[in-house]
Structure 1
Amino acid sequence: MTICAAIQMASGPQVNANLLEAEKLIAEAAKAGAKLVALPENFAIMGMNEYDKVAVREKDGEGPIQDFLSSLAKKYGVWVIGGTLPMIATADNKVRASCLVYDDQGQRLARYDKVHLFDVSVPDSTEEYRESDSVEAGSKPVVIDSPFGRIGIAVCYDLRFPEFFRPMARKGLDILVIPSAFTAKTGAAHWEVLLRARAIENLCYVIAPNQGGFHVNGRQTYGHSMIVDPWGVVLDCYKTGPGFVSADIDKARLEKTRTAFPALEHRRIFCE
């Protein structure tokens, strides 16, 4: 068994302040025995407007936020899944929302760019979001090998598209990590049920670090970062404010569940 952790933050517009908070929480999770630590979406910056992040976007492979993730992974001897950070996009006024994965030696092993962008008007609310105004979408899912099992990465709004995860399952997905910044309203309605559904239908662990609290820019995020097992049981949940959840990722339990309940082997593919 391996202890994994999901960090919860209430990030603001100052990158340095957010990185200090992230390090504090990673250090606490590592002290508690975590060997894999995942940060939430937008952990490094939640600006006063959607374009603040463009000013701090980084080139692939260089920049203070990437250096921070690499150095902390090595310093604390943990795998770090870096939520999302703003990376250079094709357009000058946009970023890629990139999730980077580092091993416990500080080596970068993977990059996933958020595919589904949050362009919605929240029902029964005045909230409107147009993420595509400042973010350029990625195009490919990512699944990588790790000592803890096969890890798939998704980000926030990706969670609502079950077909996005089926190719991951076919690649042997064991652990799904979903850094997020769910709004308070949509989170209260759907966050837990969606996380548990993805765990149940793919018979995998789900590690879900979320933003959680009131932000300087006026937003409120839902929190309730959690870890869910392959049977849909919530193993740990942290409701609001900065903190973390942790739980054992048990490969033996995963295999036992899949053997006893082989739904993944029973899939039939239908074309429209």
Structure 2
Amino acid sequence: MKIFDTYTAVAVQSEPIVVLKRKQLEQNLNRALEILESSLYSVPNAKAPDMQIDYEPYAPVKLVAFPEDFLQGYTMRANLDVHVQEIGITIPGPETDKLAALAKKMGIYLYGVALEVLPQWPDRIFNCGFIIDPNGEIIHKFHKFSPAIHYEITTSPFEVLDEYLEVFGQGKSMLQTLFPVSDTPLGKIGTIICNDGYHPEYFRAVQVNGAEVIIRPALAEPGVSKGWFEMTNRAGALATLSYVVAPNMGGVIGPEHAKTMMAGDSMIVDYDGQIVSRIPWPGEGMVSGTIRLEHLRQRRSDPSRNFPSLLKTEVLREVYAETIYPANATNGEAIRTFKELYKKDTRHLGVIEKLFERGVYTRPRQY
């Protein structure tokens, strides 16, 4: 397997329309294909399309990553039935087949995120991050582990944990099943999605599974305006000594949002937590950065500030000994409307009350 020690990663900042009918998917897909093809020319060593060269660029574009919901937009006006019947897709399926054909033609690894309907749970949707390799094959799938409980009617694997492990976990540990990492010529790639990145444990989970490059797409407006997106990307990269490729939505076109509610700030961060490149504004665009795999591996070989090697796991096991948010919390019931999202609410489930009782939280005077 040829290893690309030095290559370019591109984070695409999309501006899709809100999809409520399946035929609308085609508009977003076609635009994604146009952007994907142009991504080869987003780098400092870009060449004109018809220019003939007999050498390999020093850092060829080998990884292109799209943000969360780049094919489907984001809506809170559709119930679960509409999501399943009109918005959700199968992976692989017709949409990913078109993406795969272009990825194969370009010789790149392509990352995307889409709302997926799985045959094992035909009445639910999962938020799926996927990687397509240069052969046009889907080599990696990750289902968002921690959807935002007040904004998403997607199902977390944790909500159907026992069934999920039975379907996908044969011969693997729970950690490998829920936070998979794929070994590629671009390094070992792990993925988390948006809200997952506000939990440092999930950055750690993919790093413990071997990840060197962590793709963390988002649909994050408050995360940008409050600085959370940058903070968590940089902290996650430094704590795990990993590259973080973080494409965010640049805007959503539809009747229920301000166009730039999703405020961009897509970025690529290196293993020292330094921003390699970013788009510090909303709107459609892309940003490229150089990944130096050998440098990362040399950095990880040095014991100085080698944070993953300093983990005191015996103590940390006690930190996580008590259940906080329970598995299979909705008892197999799918959330069908946004009005029902309270059923996942940590106050409704009694989680916050238990934290008061344990002394983890201090109860406010007015509660």
Unaligned runs of at least 5 residues, structure 2: 1-5, 43-59, 159-177, 319-367
CA contact 1:40–1:179 (8 Å) conserved in 2 = yes
User: One-letter code of the match for 1:34?
Assistant: V
CA contact 2:100–2:137 (8 Å) conserved in 1 = yes
Deviation of 1:254 (Å): 0.8
Deviation of 1:86 (Å): 2.7
Of 152, 158, 174 in structure 1, the residue corresponding to residue 212 of structure 2 is 174
Could you say which residue in structure 1 is the equivalent of 2:186? Answer: 148
In the alignment, the residues of structure 1 paired with residue 117 and residue 40 of structure 2 have an alpha-carbon distance, to the nearest angstrom, of: 27
Of 84, 90, 98 in structure 2, the residue corresponding to residue 68 of structure 1 is 98
Could you say which residue in structure 1 is the equivalent of 2:224? Answer: 187
Deviation of 1:50 (Å): 4.0
Pair 1:244-2:286 in alignment: yes
Of 47, 60, 67 in structure 2, the residue corresponding to residue 40 of structure 1 is 67
Instruction: Name which of structure 1's ranges 52-61 and 70-79 shifts more when overlaid on structure 2.
Output: 52-61
Task: Give CA deviations for 1:158-215 in whole Å, capped at 9, x if unaligned.
Answer: 00111123232222210000121112x2322111001000001000000001101243
Could you say which residue in structure 2 is the equivalent of 1:59? Answer: 90
Alignment of 1:188-207 (within 5 A): 188-189=225-226, 190-207=228-245
Q: Count matched residues.
A: 259
Secondary structure of the corresponding residue to residue 296 of structure 2: helix
* Structure with greater strand share of residues: 1
Could you say which residue in structure 1 is the equivalent of 2:146? Answer: 116
Instruction: Name which of structure 1's ranges 205-214 and 23-32 shifts more when overlaid on structure 2.
Output: 23-32
Cα gap change, 1:205 to 1:249, in 2 (>3 Å): same
Question: If the length of structure 1 is used for normalisation, what is the TM-score?
Answer: 0.88
Of 22, 33, 39 in structure 2, the residue corresponding to residue 29 of structure 1 is 39
In the alignment, the residues of structure 2 paired with residue 70 and residue 223 of structure 1 have an alpha-carbon distance, to the nearest angstrom, of: 25
Structure having the higher Rg: 2
Unaligned runs of at least 5 residues, structure 1: 121-128
Could you say which residue in structure 2 is the equivalent of 1:253? Answer: 295
Pair 1:136-2:174 in alignment: no
Of 87, 96, 111 in structure 1, the residue corresponding to residue 117 of structure 2 is 87
In the alignment, the residues of structure 1 paired with residue 78 and residue 123 of structure 2 have an alpha-carbon distance, to the nearest angstrom, of: 10
In the alignment, the residues of structure 1 paired with residue 298 and residue 38 of structure 2 have an alpha-carbon distance, to the nearest angstrom, of: 31
In the alignment, the residues of structure 2 paired with residue 156 and residue 89 of structure 1 have an alpha-carbon distance, to the nearest angstrom, of: 25
Q: In angstroms, what is the RMSD of aligned CA positions?
A: 1.9
User: One-letter code of the match for 1:20?
Assistant: N
In the alignment, the residues of structure 2 paired with residue 103 and residue 88 of structure 1 have an alpha-carbon distance, to the nearest angstrom, of: 21
In the alignment, the residues of structure 1 paired with residue 149 and residue 78 of structure 2 have an alpha-carbon distance, to the nearest angstrom, of: 13
Secondary structure of the corresponding residue to residue 230 of structure 1: coil
